[in-house]
Amino acid sequence: MRWLVPFLALLLCACGAKDRVEGTTQDTIIRLMEADSRGLDPQLVSDLASTRVAADLFEGLARFNAKGEAEAGLAESWRTSEDGLQWTFTLRPDLAFSDAVPIRAEVFGKAFARIKDEQSGSPHSALFGVVRSIAARDARTVVIILENPFPQLPALLAHPAMAALPFHRIQAAGDKWTGDRPLVTSGAYRLAEWRLSQHLILEANPRWHGGKPKSVRIVWKPMDNLNSAMRLIMAGGADIGSEYTPSRHHWLKDKHPDIVRNAPFLGTYYFAFNTRQPPFDDVRVRRALSIAVDREWIATEMVDAGNLPAWGLLPPGLNGGTSYTPDWASLSREKRMEQARKLLAEAGYGPSRPLRFEIRFNSSTEHRRAAVAMATMWRKLGVQAKLLNSEASLHFDSLKRADFQFARSGWIADLPAPENFLAVHLSDAGAQNYSGYANPVYDAAFKRAMAEPDTLRRAGLMRDAERILMSDMPILPLYSYASRSLVRPVVRGWIDNPGNVHPSRTLWKAP
């Protein structure tokens, strides 16, 4: 069957001949995304594919570099008040949009006002809740006032929703401003062409302050079939794939190690307990089930795609911290089960009164396998867990209505900050607090951390809040995510990082 591989390569090249007008030439990088972009207005889109394209097209006061770290963007510098509540940014001189209209400080106040305006329909208002006001002191000075200290503000401002947008075009064309070709932008690229379900072609912005990027042409191609995307990259028809199926992880590492990029990611996979009602209003029951789960096996054997077992909410390495690990994590499997049985007995469950509940998950092989694995592990405790799966929208609607007992959830960070994970579990977090967890001690610990301007002390206080949360166990973490990308060896500038951020302007092809 060896003849099949080169034959497939030739077939893929032939079938893609029409699309290959974009070419895998030296100055062009073809990037695959799992879905087509849902729009071009960075303040109105929130899906990953659209956000990645928007980050290529629009730049804000700050931006992400190749390491996934926030750095100066349209601002050349900034300074912070002693209490951490006022930030002053100075713009680079002679900035302009791609149509030569000058970029002035007032544009950022307009961007913030549009995000906060309910009529705009922006989904990012809560994300920027830490910001009280943004105003222009003069043409090159932007002053930002915060509700509380927030050392990660540059990372927040690197989000394309707070980029410099061409309000002169928005005012003139309204919602149709994104129909301009080339699209008026402030980043390293401008949009030259968008063919739905085929590609978005980006070309170098001739007025970008950074000059001509190393790759002057970027082609984003939607491809929802990850195996087809994998084959296209192996055939040389594309340069970068942002995902591959976990089941292909070992095969790719064995057969094509030169294209596999696998790194820890800012996300945690967990299940939520409904703490509002029995049986999970009893912390002993929650702890017993958590202790009995073999996370090491789930992360390294069942999933086995570079994920790391997780006992806490915060991913490893976030803000330089280490992962939360309870004392019982080092115990043998037998000792853990013994502790779990004791806790269940104290809560009134045992052979004469078995614990029964339902595990809800959204349709996915990965989620089903996790549910089955836990149900099997708990059988040794006499626990009877039934499975209930549904499609994603129905599943998460049930979670928002608290119509569940134990359900698949998880969190992927909007930005590299512990509070982005921890705030979800505050008593006043609303519907996104699926578990209904409410502990004034945790709330107070989180608020103490938020009020601390010193970065190191703040990180320590965030870890203290996490310890309280995980002692109460409203969620059952299983593993920290790992990013899975495919990158042809010819591509340079790709640096694995926890945010899985890889701006096109930082990438190029070797001769």
Residue type, 18: K
Residues of the chain with CATH 3.10.105.10: 264-482
Number of Cβ within 10 Å of residue 332's Cβ equals 8
Residue 8 has a pLDDT of 34
Residue 320 has a pLDDT of 58
- The answer to whether the beta carbons of residues 481 and 268 sit under 8 Å apart is yes
Residue 507 has a pLDDT of 98
Mean pLDDT by 10 residues, the chain (511 residues): 35 38 74 94 93 98 96 98 97 98 98 95 92 98 97 96 98 95 98 96 98 97 94 96 90 96 93 98 98 95 88 83 87 97 98 97 90 97 97 92 97 89 94 96 97 92 96 97 95 95 97 82
- SS3 per residue for 239-281: CEECCCCHHHHHHHHHHCCCCEEEEEEEEEEEEEECCCCCCCC
Residue 385 has a pLDDT of 98
Residues of the chain with CATH 3.40.190.10: 19-245+488-509
Residue 363 has a pLDDT of 84
Question: How far apart, in whole angstroms, are the C-alpha atoms of residue 104 and residue 89?
Answer: 12
Number of Cβ within 10 Å of residue 64's Cβ equals 23
- The answer to whether the beta carbons of residues 150 and 144 sit under 8 Å apart is no
Q: Give the phi and the psi of residue 173 in degrees, each rounded to 5.
A: -110, -5
What's the length of the chain? 511
Structure tokens at 239: 């340069």
For domain 264-482, which architecture applies? Roll (3.10)
Question: How far apart, in whole angstroms, are the C-alpha atoms of residue 433 and residue 450?
Answer: 19
Pick the CATH number of 19-245+488-509 from 2.30.30.280, 3.40.190.10, 3.90.550.10, 3.90.230.10: 3.40.190.10
> CB-side exposure of 229: number of CA atoms within 13 Å?
26
The string of DSSP letters for 173-200 reads HGGGGGG-SSPP-SSSEEEEEEETTTEE
